[in-house]
Amino acid sequence: MSQNICQWIETHADFVPEKLAVRFEGREITYRELLSQITQTAAVLKDVYGIGRGERVAYLGFNSPELLVLLFACARLGALLLPLNWRLAPLEQTYILENAVARILVCDDDHKMIGHQLSDKVPGCVACDHADIATVTDDVHDCVDRDPKVDLMTPVLLVYTSGTTGRPKGAVLTQQAVLFNALNSVHMHDLDISDHILTALPMFHVGGLNIQTTPALYVGATVTLQRRFEPATVLSAIRDLRPTRLVLVPATIMALAEHPDFKRTDFSSIRSVTTGSTIVQKSVIDIFHDRNVPVIQNYGLTETGPVALYLRIDDAFSRVGSTGRGALHTRFRIVDDEDRDVPTGQSGELLLQGSNVLLEYWRDPAATRQALQDGWFRTGDIGYCDSDGYVYINDRKKDVVISGSENIYPAELEHVLDQMEGLIEAAVVGMPDNRWGEVPVAVIVPDSACDIDKAKVLSCFDGVLARFKHPKAVFSIDVLPRNVMGKVLKHELRQMLTDEMSTQADLGAGRKRGKLAQVF
């Protein structure tokens, strides 16, 4: 077994040097060329920027081969790649860079300006362009050996996920986690060197990066990268390039189905479509099943690499609704509130254990202790296991909204609302949405002496939180429902909102009814 994930590329460069590794916007990179770029980039990072074992290298940009090159260059040096979500607001990105103590921020052409503005605000962080780290000059060695102290237990990825307290947390994934995630994915998909992966989801998420992309490079397959998800370009790539597999979240499946080219696209090359990130409705899965394309449901989190539970192709049509069995290298338990295993068919919290699970949360020992208990990772998701060993997720214990595959913690929004003048208190809950799965909705208790409207409420989020996190509707109420301990009863709020919106076509058509009034 490899002692460094960069050895994957080295092996393929030795045995299949001219095999196509990555295709991107007219560029075709063989495994030999990919290894050369990794070696050069590692040399520049080490000799020019002083990057070594344990240093953090941030990346801000759309999907590109350079992100993959950076990942394996960091693996060679023992450094950590920090992929920044380009959808976040600058304040959120600045916090992440500061918390990670990033040494360097590599930007693509579309994000050079914001990248340099961010680095100016973060002490010790230098921004540079793709070209800056790809060019070997006279003062740079043209080759850099692997650090002999780097092994599979060396951290290689630092991926930030929204925090329950309103601040993002950095999940630290080791090279071992990336390797065993790849092994899980190979088993899930039956991946081999003949596969051709189409990656359209953003690789700043582990879903876009690690469900199929890095596993494909592990087996020596080909990856076609798309800069970002666009229905027309995905469908044209399927038509012209004939990929064998792709990962889509429910929102992107629906976007493809609504495109006029969907019905006339030939999907015969697609061996499977993998989906997940939330509870997936049968109607969404049937979009591809009706075209005789198997849909594999996968369950995982940033903290698990993410591949932890999955269906295999043989079960795709017969087990719709299940997230599958435990992954090849991942164990699971379903427990009650006393951490006792529940009987078959009974719901409880899902716990996970395996070499693909995070090492820790970056600089957050309290969160690490809370999440990792007795060797098990607490997912905060509620599900049950049937008599055949298949798991079904049916609820969440954590207070989180999953909107279009993005995790949104209400605490983030509530923290912003708490600072707004004219509000006594506020709460945010997730409500169902046909396209995004869920959307955040704010319920506020306004001060009667102040004039509050929807525009004023929504404007307080501008530049503070990413736009996808902003509330999609705002309702007012005289008092928030609470239990005897003073905790807001969010399940009651959701029911009140459901009752209020039952006569509305959508969230944009509000009217006063009962205890709630929509804020216009």
Distances (CA, A) of 107 to 64, 116, 156, 260, 410: 11, 9, 19, 34, 30
Nearest alpha-carbon partner for 285 in 317, 329, 238, 327: 317
In a domain, 371, yes or no: no
In a domain, 73, yes or no: yes
Residue 395 pLDDT? 74
Residue 281 pLDDT? 82
Contact 249, 285 (CB under 8 A): no
In a domain, 57, yes or no: yes
Q: How confident is the model at residue 101 (pLDDT cuts 50, 70, 90)?
A: very high
- Each residue's pLDDT tens digit, 384-439: 999 999 999 887 777 889 898 888 988 889 889 988 988 988 999 999 998 899 99
- Name the domain count of the chain: 2
Instruction: State which of 117, 151, 185 marks the end of a domain.
Output: 151
Per-state percent for the chain, helix, strand, coil, to nearest 5: 30, 25, 40
In a domain, 245, yes or no: no
Token code pair at residue 383: 């599900």
Nearest alpha-carbon partner for 295 in 277, 263, 279, 318: 318
pLDDT at 503 exceeding the cut of 70: no
Task: State percent of the chain over pLDDT 70.
Answer: 93
In a domain, 311, yes or no: no
- Each residue's pLDDT tens digit, 118-168: 999 999 999 999 888 887 665 566 556 666 789 999 999 999 987 655 688
Give dist(CA 186, CA 256) in Å, integer: 26
Instruction: State which of 110, 136, 151 marks the end of a domain.
Output: 151
Does pTM top 0.75 for this prediction? yes
Buried b / exposed e over 7-29, threshold 16 CB at 10 Å, is bbbbebbeeeeebbbbbbeeeeb
CATH code of the domain containing 108:
3.40.50.12780
In a domain, 318, yes or no: no
Asked, as a colleague might, if the bond just before 306 is cis with ω within 30 of 0, I would say: yes
Residue with tokens 């798309």: 226
pLDDT at 506 exceeding the cut of 70: no
| DSSP H helical ranges for 83-168 | 90-100, 112-121, 130-134
Q: Structural domain of residue 85, as residue ranges?
A: 1-151
In a domain, 316, yes or no: no
In a domain, 277, yes or no: no
Distances (CA, A) of 153 to 170, 362, 377: 17, 15, 18
Residue 142 pLDDT? 56
CATH code of the domain containing 446:
3.30.300.30
Instruction: State which of 151, 180, 195 marks the end of a domain.
Output: 151
Residue 508 pLDDT? 47
Q: How far apart are the first and last CA of the chain?
A: 60
Angle (CA) 377-380-383 rounded to 5° is 105
